[in-house]
Amino acid sequence: MKLGIVGLPNVGKSTLFNSLTKAGAESANYPFCTIDPNIGVVAVPDERIVKLGELYKSKKVTPATIEFVDIAGLVKGASKGEGLGNQFLSNIREVDAIVHVVRCFEDSNVVHVDGTVDPLRDIETINLELVFSDIEILERRKSKVVRGAKNDKALAKELALVERLIAHLEEGKLAKTFSVNDEDEEAFLSTYNLLTIKPVIFAANVKEDEVADDGAANPYVAKVREYAATENCEVFVICAKIEEEISELDDDEKAMFLEDLGLKESGLDKLIKASYHLLGLISYLTSGEDETRAWTIKAGTKAPQAAGKIHTDFERGFIKAEVIQYQDLMDCGSIAAAKEKGLVGIEGKDYVVKDGDVILFRFNV
C-alpha cells in the first residue's frame, strides 16, 4: 500500500511524516522545506505474526508494509506555478490513497500560509489544485484523441467522455463524483489516474491536550468530520508533536507514554486502520519454520488470487488451500491439534479469504 501525504505548508505534514517513518524529512516553520518528495516504508504493526512466528519458531517474521510519500507544501495557485508549482503532483498519481493533513489548532508561533486557521478553506485550496492538475491531464488526452475521433468510434466515445469530465471538473467538482454511463467509460476513466478520484483520509492535527478525547471539543475537527461524511472520506485525529515524541521511544516506553496520555493507540495505528477500512483491505498470514508473514489483499479476494500475491506460480498452479483462523490455531497450540479438532479447512478455488486466515497453499506448476 502506498499513501501520499499532502497539505498546505505549516500544517504539521512533514512532522507527521517524520514521526510515522523516522525518515528525517526536514521540518521547519516556513513553506517548502520539503522540496523533493520523501519516501518512507513503515511496517504494519500486527501482533498476530509475532505470536505465530513464536509458535512456528520461524527464522524470520515479515510484516505487511505501507509506503509513505511526503510531498512539498502546496499553496493556492500551485497548478499555475505558484510556490513549487505542481511538480509534486506526478509523485502522488501512483498512490492508493491521499492522506490530507489539516491544521485544526491555533498557534501564534506557527505561521499559517493564509493568515488564519480554517480547515475547510484549506481543504478547498488543495482540492482545487488537484482539480486543475486533473484538467491539465485530460486536456492533454483530449488533444491526442480528437485527431482520430472522426474515424474511430472508440476514440469518439472517449472524446465525449473526456469533454464531459473536463466540464465536470471545471465546475469545481471532484472526479470521484462523476458518473460514467457504461463499462467502456469506466475503463477509460481508470486509465487517466486522476488525483481527485483517489480515496482521501483527513488527518486532523490538534494540540496535545485534545488528542485523548479524539478532538471532541475542537470545532475545527467537527467541521472536517462533517465535510468528510459528505465525501465518504475517513478522518482520524492526531497531534503531530506527540507522534514525533512517540517515534523516539521503544515499544515498552511507547505503551507507557500512550497510557499516560490516555491514548489506546498511536496516530500510525489510527492511520493504518483508516487506510485498510477505506481501501477495503485485509491481511492473511502464512507461517512456517523459515518465515511467518502478513499479506495484504482486497476483501473479497479468492484463494488462487491471494496465492498469486506470494508468487504467480502459486495462482497458476493452484490446487487447494489449507485454512485455519488465527485465533483457532493459537487456542489449539499447534496445527496438528487443530487438525484433530477438525478446524483446518481444505478450500478450493471459490474460497473467499478472510482477515486472519492462516493459509498453506498447495500448487503444482
Concatenating the DSSP letter of every residue in 164-195 gives HHHHHHHTT--GGGPPPSSHHHHHHHHHS--G
Q: Alpha-carbon dihedral of residues 137, 279, 255, 204, nearest 10 degrees?
A: 50
Three-state DSSP at 88 gives coil
What pLDDT does residue 80 have?
A: 59
Q: What is the pLDDT of residues 199-220, one digit of tens each?
A: 999 999 999 999 989 999 999 9
What pLDDT does residue 109 have?
A: 76
The 60-62 sheet, strands edge to edge: 60-62, 291-298, 281-287, 357-363, 318-325, 345-347
Q: What is the pLDDT of residues 252-297, one digit of tens each?
A: 888 899 889 888 888 888 888 889 999 999 999 999 999 999 999 9
> In the numeric block, which cell numbers belong to residue 85?
508549482
| Cα 277 versus chain centre, distance | 9
Average pLDDT, whole number, for the chain? 88
What pLDDT does residue 122 have?
A: 92
**Can you list the residues of the chain whose pLDDT is less than 70?**
23-37, 72-91, 111-114
Query: Which residues partner with 294 through β-bridges?
Result: 285
What pLDDT does residue 44 have?
A: 87
Could you give the CA distance from residue 274 to residue 233 in angstroms, rounded to a whole number? 9
Q: Percentage of residues in the chain with pLDDT exceeding 70?
A: 89
Closest residue by Cα to residue 205 from 323, 123, 88: 123
